[in-house]
Amino acid sequence: MASSSLLWLCSSNPLISPATLLKAHPRFPIRQRFRCSLVEPLKFENGKPHFPLLTSDPAFPTFLSPNSHFQNDINKHDTRLRIFSGTANPALAQEIACYMGLELGKIKIKRFADGEIYVQLQESVRGCDVFLVQPTCPPANENLMELLIMIDACRRASAKNITAVIPYFGYARADRKTQGRESIAAKLVANLITEAGANRVLACDLHSGQSMGYFDIPVDHVYGQPVILDYLASKTICSDDLVVVSPDVGGVARARAFAKKLSDAPLAIVDKRRHGHNVAEVMNLIGDVKGKVAVMVDDMIDTAGTIAKGAALLHQEGAREVYACSTHAVFSPPAIERLSSGLFQEVIITNTIPVSEQNYFPQLTVLSVANLLGETIWRVHDDCSGGFEPYATLGID
């Protein structure tokens, strides 16, 4: 509609060129997709982080790829939008900025000798929409505190809107009381982020949807499923051989939604009893996996105890191959030993949490959610909805 209006205005008044009109009316942004070039890195005291260049591998879903319909609508000169990165996952933040055709904002983050965190923005954000990319991955408390101080710095610098982009919300597991005298840390952290001055939160694959209700500010919840589904589709596994497996009863809804998008594949459930935190015992398998390619789906892999015992049970029940798919790779010891023990044909994760070099193993595949988060940031900034295809999967409403 915007382009047709432009053509009408230009044709009715030959003295007005399209370029002049677009410059005078920011409601008609020009966006251009291009490969990123490295910009000046963040002013971290602990050295310059490494930012990998964006590539055209199958890490991004096809509907968000450079060859999609979204070819000519990025306005890299939109000065109202600023993206800053914390120290938790600067590589992901750089990929997001590359997708959007923007440069990361300049920020100085350092730690004093006693561990206190110091944050200073190196450019003005007055009246801007600011997006702070900082997952609360290990060390969770350090990264959470850094996020809070970044939010406070933006608020005191008169930013118009502050959105905390939290690809991995680390305290989402403590979302209810299962025993007496327990804390609900997810609500506490939500209060901290709100009181620090955030106007909005953008999170990816929360452990449970109820965590959105703990925030007294709007929450945009996106899913990493499109990225993983697009990659699995590229493997051309016969749909008749697939079975989606939930590693526990609590993940049945997630696995069912995943199976529906995999040609409505059958569903199996691993029944387990948990005796304590990070301690699981598999009890039984509900469903048939004999001769099938089993795809285990979970939101995170921490110590890999649950998913490894589930994979062992699937092999005992006759599964031909077992794939593990997870959005968040926490990889607490001894996760790497369990995942690389030969139980899995492939372990597919995303880069919401950075994976250190020593944690790579041959079966590991890391996909990027940069395009997904970048598109969501654009739509939040432009006050657009994601309720129509192909953006319905973004979860923005």
What is the tens place of the pLDDT at every residue in 345-362?
999 999 999 999 999 999
For residue 5, what pLDDT band results from cuts at 50, 70 and 90? very low
Average pLDDT of span 166-193: 92
Give residue 119's pLDDT. Answer: 98
CA distance 314 to 281: 14
Average pLDDT of span 28-57: 41
The answer to whether 220 and 202 are in contact (CB under 8 A) is: yes
For residue 372, pLDDT beyond 90? yes
How far lies 341's CA from each of 101, 154, 371, in Å?
41, 46, 32
Least confident segment among 49-63, 180-194, 287-301, 352-366: 49-63
CA distance 212 to 220: 9
For residue 152, pLDDT beyond 90? yes
The answer to whether 197 and 148 are in contact (CB under 8 A) is: no
Whole-prediction pTM: 0.78
Give residue 283's pLDDT. Answer: 75
Q: What is the domain partition of the chain in residue ranges?
A: 81-222+373-385, 225-353
For residue 46, pLDDT beyond 70? no
Per-residue pLDDT tens over the stretch 304-339: 998 999 999 999 999 999 999 999 999 999 999 999
Average pLDDT of span 82-93: 98
Strands 321-329 and 293-301: parallel
Give residue 290's pLDDT. Answer: 95
Q: Is the dihedral of CA 379, 382, 383, 385 positive or negative?
A: negative
Per-residue pLDDT tens over the stretch 252-275: 999 999 999 998 999 999 987 766
Q: Where is mean pLDDT largest: 29-38, 71-80, 345-354, 374-383?
A: 345-354
Topology of domain 225-353 in CATH is: Rossmann fold (3.40.50)
For residue 64, pLDDT beyond 80? no
Average pLDDT of span 270-296: 82
Whether 225-353 and 81-222+373-385 are alike in CATH topology: the answer is: yes
The answer to whether 351 and 367 are in contact (CB under 8 A) is: yes
> What is the percent of the chain with per-residue pLDDT over 70, rounded to a whole number?
74
Give residue 207's pLDDT. Answer: 87
Average pLDDT of span 60-87: 63
Give residue 62's pLDDT. Answer: 56
CA distance 239 to 91: 35
| Architecture of the CATH domain 81-222+373-385 | 3-Layer(aba) Sandwich (3.40)
Give residue 32's pLDDT. Answer: 39
Give residue 79's pLDDT. Answer: 66
Least confident segment among 33-42, 114-123, 272-281: 33-42
CA distance 304 to 113: 35
Q: Is the dihedral of CA 351, 104, 129, 59 positive or negative?
A: negative
> What is the percent of the chain with per-residue pLDDT over 90, rounded to a whole number?
64
Give residue 396's pLDDT. Answer: 55
Quick one: tokens of 311?
A: 């994979």
